[in-house]
Amino acid sequence: MAPDSTPYSLRPFEDLIDALTTKGRASARALRGPRRKVGATLRAGTATPLWNQLVREILPFLKVRGEKARLAHLLGVHRQAVNEYFVSRSRMPDAERVLLLREWVQVRQAGKRPGW
């Protein structure tokens, strides 16, 4: 509202309403968090509990010497990518690789080695 059209007695209230509105918008943005691009991949963290569970199931198997390299070969990625998936958790695999990982875990939990 233009200052000329507001009665002098209401101008402090107008400034207060403007300030509250600005703070309210800032607060809502802080609660909502940063915007993600549509279709962007989630990052590992508290928002991905199923991925966190899968990582907890896989990590004991990766302690065996050479297992990261064998898993990387199976997934068709570099060994460093496997390290980023499970140790540093800075990347996440695509859906097809996650399904393959799920199968791999089931085979390993049965005490077998995948023959793929």
| pLDDT tens digits, 59-71 | 999 999 999 999 9
Q: Is residue 59 part of a domain?
A: yes
Q: Is residue 69 part of a domain?
A: yes
Q: Is residue 61 part of a domain?
A: yes
Q: Is residue 116 part of a domain?
A: no
Q: How many separate domains does the chain show?
A: 1
Q: Is residue 63 part of a domain?
A: yes
For 86-108, the DSSP string reads HTS------HHHHHHHHHHHHHH
How much is the mean pLDDT over the chain? 80
| Parent domain of 84 | 49-109
Closest CA to 72 of 64, 81, 63: 81
What is the b/e burial string over 63-77, where b = at least 16 CB atoms within 10 angstroms of the residue's CB?
Answer: eeeeebebbbebbeb
Q: Is residue 87 part of a domain?
A: yes
Diameter of the chain measured on Cα atoms: 83
Give the least confident one: 40-49, 52-61, 66-75, 84-93: 40-49
User: What per-residue confidence (pLDDT) applies to 91?
Assistant: 86
User: What per-residue confidence (pLDDT) applies to 2?
Assistant: 53
CA dist., res. 27 & res. 33, Å (int): 10
Q: Is residue 56 part of a domain?
A: yes
The position carrying tokens 């140790």 is 87
Q: Is residue 114 part of a domain?
A: no
Q: Tokens in use for 69?
A: 């390299």
Can you tell me the mean pLDDT for 102-114? 88
